[in-house]
């Protein structure tokens, strides 16, 4: 709490505004992913082999739970860093492959999901418990909360973190009781953490183990691998079955997907939406020990275009895409697009006995070449 004299201007944020700003621009499912990020980061810190680690989520219209066996939070970490909004630790000390750059994800998720949060965490050193009543905390001038430390942890089987959230927000109550939302969440988890799931970590949502699938139809077109002092990146372009929704760039930063099937200028996709390009799948896997070297946004949903690495990655992606285009099986063909009155084109469809406008264009082109004896 700030103690003021007559010449002091109060610039403390109100907790109400603070909470609203934190939660305003993040979707509920993205907030849940922030909690999963913490578990994955903890597991990676312990072991590169992720096969023994599990993350279990249980959610309905009354409660949200996430629990893991990923190493837990020490009492010292809890007191000094884990529950702070931002971190005193320098970026250089961040563990390899971490995605927690801004140190706000867990707290933001708490505020987004509900009012009563209970955290129990145990390491091989010690364990603690704390409860946050957001409504009471918001009204209090004090920013700190109390935890209960239980000293040395003798029950090593309980190592990990458990988070229970009750008195859910209206949005959480509604969506957690909606099976379509749950199905969508499972799919988003499968796609966002595709690589770490392949490395062995188990993620379970309401009893269902999240699985990933790999297309058997993909063939590689181009592969780049860059290793510099700031980061490593692997850029892969593949060809698959035509599907507009799945085409485009997929970008993973420290194993966390932040961009999915993007076909905009954000990723330098300037080849248009022609059907011949619906077969292209682009994958970028960038990793850095200093998470600040990667273009994370605070919501980990998109790219920070002001980060210098963004421009470097975009340039490499454009280069890789340009190199891949001639390797498409239909790379020798060009698309011709033009507009004519609908009534006329409908008449030509009947005359040529074809179903689509595209076929009308092909027929008229062929007929023009034939009737004018054009040699190509």
Point out the least confidently predicted range of 5-14, 104-113, 192-201: 5-14
Is residue 284's pLDDT more than 90?
Answer: yes
Which residues have CB under 8 Å from 289's CB, separation 6+?
Answer: 92, 94, 95, 96
Residue with tokens 């022609």: 274
- 160 and 139 in a common domain: yes
Number of domains in the chain: 3
Answer yes or no: are the C-beta atoms of 67 and 116 closer than 8 Å: no
Is residue 91's pLDDT more than 70?
Answer: no
Supply the pLDDT for residue 103: 63
- Please give the residue range of the domain that contains residue 347: 342-372
Residue 25's domain is classified under what CATH number? 3.30.565.10
pLDDT band at 97 (very low <50, low <70, confident <90, very high): low
* Residue that wins the pLDDT comparison between 89 and 200: 200
* Residue that wins the pLDDT comparison between 307 and 360: 307
* pLDDT tens track for 177-200: 999 999 999 999 999 999 899 999
Which residues have CB under 8 Å from 86's CB, separation 6+?
Answer: 102, 103, 104
- 167 and 233 in a common domain: no
- 60 and 21 in a common domain: yes
- 123 and 242 in a common domain: no
- 253 and 198 in a common domain: no
pLDDT band at 156 (very low <50, low <70, confident <90, very high): low
Supply the pLDDT for residue 92: 46
- 32 and 158 in a common domain: yes
Answer yes or no: are the C-beta atoms of 205 and 287 closer than 8 Å: no
- 94 and 27 in a common domain: yes
Supply the pLDDT for residue 334: 66
CA distances from 231 to 193, 319, 344 (A): 20, 19, 57
- The reply to whether 52 falls in a domain is yes
Residue with tokens 């062995």: 200
Q: What is the mean pLDDT of residues 128-139?
A: 93
Supply the pLDDT for residue 216: 64
* Residue that wins the pLDDT comparison between 22 and 198: 198
Is residue 222's pLDDT more than 50?
Answer: yes
- The reply to whether 3 falls in a domain is no
pLDDT band at 27 (very low <50, low <70, confident <90, very high): very high
- The reply to whether 214 falls in a domain is no
Calculate what percentage of the chain has a pLDDT beyond 70. Answer: 90
* Residue that wins the pLDDT comparison between 2 and 287: 287
Supply the pLDDT for residue 62: 96
Q: Which helix (H) or strand (E) holds 32?
A: helix 28-46
Point out the least confidently predicted range of 11-25, 45-59, 324-338: 324-338
- The reply to whether 306 falls in a domain is yes
Supply the pLDDT for residue 90: 45
Calculate what percentage of the chain has a pLDDT beyond 90. Answer: 51
- 228 and 165 in a common domain: no
Closest CA to 300 of 288, 313, 291, 309: 291
Supply the pLDDT for residue 89: 56
- 249 and 200 in a common domain: no
Mean pLDDT in the chain?
A: 87
Residue-wise DSSP of 218-235: -EEEEEEEEE-SS-EEEE
- The reply to whether 2 falls in a domain is no
CA distances from 366 to 357, 360, 369, 376 (A): 14, 10, 5, 12
- Rounded-to-integer distance, Cα 364 and Cα 370, Å: 10
Is residue 154's pLDDT more than 80?
Answer: no
Closest CA to 56 of 42, 31, 44, 39: 39
């Amino acid at each position: 709490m700030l103690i003021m004299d007559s010449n002091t201007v109060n610039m403390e944020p109100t907790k109400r505004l603070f909470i609203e700003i934190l939660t305003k621009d993040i979707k509920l499912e993205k907030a849940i992913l922030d909690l999963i990020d913490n578990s994955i980061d903890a597991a990676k810190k312990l072991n590169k082999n992720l096969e023994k680690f599990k993350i279990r989520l249980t959610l309905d219209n009354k409660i949200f739970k996430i629990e893991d066996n990923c190493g837990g939070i020490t009492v010292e970490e809890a007191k000094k860093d884990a529950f702070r909004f931002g971190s005193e630790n320098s970026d250089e000390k961040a563990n390899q492959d971490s995605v927690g750059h801004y140190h706000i994800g867990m707290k933001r998720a708490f505020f987004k999901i509900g009012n009563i949060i209970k955290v129990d965490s145990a390491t091989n050193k010690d364990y603690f418990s704390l409860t946050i009543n957001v409504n009471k905390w918001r009204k209090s001038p004090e920013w700190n909360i109390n935890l209960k430390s239980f000293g040395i942890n003798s029950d090593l089987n309980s190592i990990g973190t458990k988070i229970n959230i009750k008195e859910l927000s209206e949005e959480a109550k509604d969506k957690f009781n909606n099976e379509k939302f749950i199905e969508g969440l499972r799919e988003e988890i499968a796609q966002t953490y595709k690589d770490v799931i392949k490395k062995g970590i188990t993620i379970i949502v309401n009893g269902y183990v999240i699985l990933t699938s790999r297309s058997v139809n993909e063939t590689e077109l181009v592969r780049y691998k860059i290793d510099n002092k700031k980061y490593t990146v692997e850029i892969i372009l593949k060809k698959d079955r035509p599907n507009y929704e799945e085409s485009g760039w997929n970008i993973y930063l420290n194993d966390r997907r932040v961009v999915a099937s993007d076909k905009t200028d954000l990723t330098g996709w300037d080849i248009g939406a022609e059907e011949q390009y619906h077969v292209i799948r682009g994958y970028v896997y960038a990793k850095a020990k200093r998470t600040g070297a990667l273009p994370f946004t605070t919501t980990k949903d998109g790219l920070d275009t002001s980060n210098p690495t963004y421009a470097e990655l975009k340039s490499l992606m454009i280069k890789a895409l340009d190199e891949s285009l001639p390797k498409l099986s239909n790379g020798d063909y060009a698309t011709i697009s033009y507009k004519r009155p609908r009534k006329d084109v409908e008449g030509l469809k009947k005359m040529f006995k074809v179903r689509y406008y595209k076929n009308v264009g092909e027929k008229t082109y062929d007929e023009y070449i034939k009737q004018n004896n054009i040699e190509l």
